[in-house]
Structure formats: structure tokens, C-alpha cells
């Protein structure tokens, strides 16, 4: 790929169980909550849709 896109790590809170975990916002695959299994990051081919509440952006 010619274009390098930087991703960011985000701290997110699951809407269903209030678990917090760190996710990458350019994830190549879906990320599920480690507690309840809800999909919290949905991969959309190069970018990701965050399905949870973002509580912190980690640089
Ligand atoms: Zn959860």
C-alpha cells in the first residue's frame, strides 16, 4: 500500500456491560468485548466503526 494511514489506540467502554478495553481503530477484523462478546469495533475494509463509547484516545 502506498498510503500509510496511522491508526490510534482507543479506550472504549462497552455499552452493554461497562467493560473497558483498549482497541485499535484501524483494526483489520472485528473486535469483541472480552466480557460479553458484543462487537465493539466493526471492520469496514481499512477503517473501523467504533460501536462502543470512546473514553480515551491513546497516542
Ligand atoms: Zn461487554
For residues 27 and 43, is the Cβ–Cβ distance under 8 A? yes
SS3 8: coil
Within a domain: 13: yes
The mean pLDDT of 35-44, rounded to a whole number, is: 96
Quick: pLDDT tens for 11-32.
999 999 999 999 998 888 999 9
Q: Is residue 25 part of a domain?
A: yes
CATH of the domain at 28: 2.20.25.100
Percent of the chain having pLDDT more than 90? Answer: 69
Residue 36: inside a domain, yes or no? yes
| CB-proximal residues (5 Å) to ion ligand 1 | 14, 16-17, 19, 33, 35-36, 38
Across the range 21-49, mean pLDDT stands at 92
23 CA → ligand 1 middle, Å = 13
| CA dist., res. 55 & res. 30, Å (int) | 19
Mean pLDDT score of the chain, rounded to an integer?
A: 90
Task: Kindly state whether residue 26 falls inside one of the protein's structural domains.
Answer: yes
pLDDT attached to residue 4 = 56
Least Cα distance to 25 among 39, 6, 2, 38 occurs for 6
Amino acid at each position: 500500500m502506498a498510503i500509510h494511514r496511522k491508526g490510534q489506540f482507543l479506550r472504549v467502554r462497552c455499552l452493554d456491560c461497562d467493560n473497558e478495553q483498549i482497541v485499535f481503530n484501524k483494526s483489520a477484523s472485528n473486535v469483541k468485548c472480552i466480557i460479553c462478546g458484543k462487537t465493539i469495533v466493526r471492520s469496514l475494509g481499512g477503517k473501523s466503526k467504533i460501536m462502543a463509547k470512546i473514553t480515551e484516545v491513546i497516542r
